[in-house]
Amino acid sequence: MTGVNDTRSPDSRRRSERSRRAIHEAALALVTEIGYGRTTIEGIASRAGVGKQTIYRWWPSKAAVLMEAFLDLAEQTAEGVPEGAEPEIPDTGDLAADLRLVLRATVDEMNNPVFDAPARALAAEGVIDAGLGAQFVEKLLEPQLQLYVRRLRAAEEAGDIRPGLDHRTALELLVGPITHRWLLRTLPLTHAYADTLVDYALYGLAPRD
């Protein structure tokens, strides 16, 4: 709606953008309050103060509204990342420091109720509903995991990790434990925990002799 081929007037575009934001916020609020299953297009429209035809015109399904609302939320909560910029994991040449930075930011996000509540509701539904889960992974999760793949590939080129590792699996040593604590609420998610994970994953549990 806001792409380069948009020929509408600035006023019309502003109104559309305002409606889109309201719809995103309504969708996230509803999924948090009543769960994915009971959230409906009608409910989102009513809460956002728009006609439901507005939603049907822009999105093919309830899942599609929510996925876009999440992408929008993730952009808003990713502090310091310029709008529209690809949020790459930094490469300062210090792999451990770069990973600590991104894992600490992940911990902060998981501890932030604005992100936690709707993300938890959507993740729980994806655990049960394989179709929704697949969309969740493809649209939201896997693109984030690929940032780690790219950073690890650069690390391999720099000689900072062992050659020949499967980077897609390797990143799970960082992301898997944090997600485990987040979803199952086993123990607190802290910066110290993030730092420890980076240390253990990079340097291994076995003695280095």
Residue ranges that bind a copy of itself, judged by CB under 8 A = 35, 95, 120-121, 123-128, 130, 133-134, 136-137, 141-142, 145, 152, 159-162, 165-166, 168-170, 172-173, 175-181, 183-187, 193, 196-197, 200-208
The Cα–Cα gap between 169 and 174 comes to 10
136 Cβ partners below 8 Å, 6+ apart?
A: 67, 122, 123, 126
Q: Which is nearer to a copy of itself, 59 or 115 (CB)?
A: 115
To the nearest whole angstrom, how small is the minimum distance from the Cβ of residue 153 to a copy of itself? Answer: 12
Q: Which is nearer to a copy of itself, 46 or 133 (CB)?
A: 133
**Three-class SS of residue 139?**
helix
To the nearest whole angstrom, how small is the minimum distance from the Cβ of residue 168 to a copy of itself? Answer: 7
The Cα–Cα gap between 88 and 85 comes to 9
- The beta strands (E) that lie in the chain are given as none
Q: Which is nearer to a copy of itself, 35 or 93 (CB)?
A: 35
Centroid of chain to Cα 209:
39
Q: Which is nearer to a copy of itself, 22 or 110 (CB)?
A: 110
